Amino acid sequence: MKKLFKTGILITAVIAGSMFIVTSFLKASRPPQAAQPPVIAQAPVRVYGVIEPSGREVFVSPPLSRRIISLHASEGDTVVRGQLLAELENLVERAQVTLNEAKIELARKAIELEDDNMKRSRQLYTKNIDSEYTYTQARLRKELEEKRLAVASDELRHAQAQLEQTLLRSPIDGIIYKFDLRLGETLASGDNSRIVLGEQGYWARMWVESFWRERVKPGTQYDLYDSETREKIGTGRFLKRIPYMGRRDFRTEDMQERFDTKFQEVILEVTPVNEKLPIGLTVVAELADNGD
């Protein structure tokens, strides 16, 4: 009886093992199924950008490389268009303005004298006491002084324009976001990294890859995070889309490897968590939890 039981168990084990081998062989012989591609439409929207003042930054730089002799503003100040921000060394320009102002004053006095001479000569000429030549010469001398006054006036305007180049003024009504100047240092011509102004309020300029274009629509709201710390800095609502598809170069850790990606710029109107945000902060935007 025990032999029959053992034999039955052995036969059952052989049959089960054979079925397992056959099943495994059939599974292995089947062609692999193609992997299903991810559904982009269901992926979360996450785009990167940078914080800007509303209307973008305005950079102020001098046309001349000069030493800074006075400062009239500081970071965070609210300024109006034409307000003086800083003054560069301008002794030569101020001396030229003073010289041309003196020339104008002398020319005006000379005109007054020549005008008196001309009037007296005309009276004498009408009474046949003086000759026509004398009267004509007096009139020409007055006209000459008037031309000298016109030239001096042009020279004064030119000197004033040169002086104005040494006075850095605000080109807009707005806020000074950066004012990296110190007395006595030389500010290089064309250096637009030292003074940055902008309007009140913030924009986030986001670079949206081409496959996200249809997901970013008017009325959409985003949560904005610091791209490095992942701290929430505010929310951004769709403001406008730049009607141009451009390209950006993305590099990996391998400096020889680069991806050329098409993108479109989208502007978000930012409502910050705190009152102030650093201009140039790199941010990442995600769809808000409210489902917009």
CATH number at residue 205: 2.40.30.170
DSSP at 31: P
Say how far residue 55 (Cα) sits from the centre of its chain.
8
pLDDT in tens, 226-248: 988 999 999 999 999 888 887 76
Instruction: Judge whether 204 and 267 are in contact, CB under 8 Å.
Output: yes
Residues 271 and 220 in one domain: yes
Mean pLDDT of the chain: 83
HSE-CB of 209 using CA atoms within 13 angstroms: 12
Domain presence at residue 16? no
CA 77 – CA 178 distance, rounded (Å): 10
The predicted pLDDT at position 27 comes to 61
Q: Which among 165, 187, 208 is the end of a domain?
A: 165
| DSSP structure string for 231-280 | -EEEEEEEEEEEEEEEEEEEE-SSTT-EEEEEEEEEEEEEEESSS---TT
Whether 40 maps to a domain, the answer reads: no
Kindly state whether residues 124 and 204 are assigned to the same domain.
Answer: no
State whether 214 and 273 are in the same domain. yes
8 A C-beta contact, residue 159 and residue 97: yes
For 168-186, b where at least 16 C-beta lie within 10 A, e where not — what string? bebebebbbbbbebeeeee
Query: What residues have CB less than 8 Å from 43, skipping those under 6 apart?
Result: none
pLDDT tens for residues 56-98?
A: 899 999 998 999 999 999 999 999 999 999 999 999 999 999 9
The answer to whether 281 touches 228, Cβ cutoff 8 Å, is no
Tell me if the pTM is above 0.75: no
| pLDDT > 70? residue 269 | yes
275, 200: one domain = yes
Domain of 150, in residue numbers: 90-165
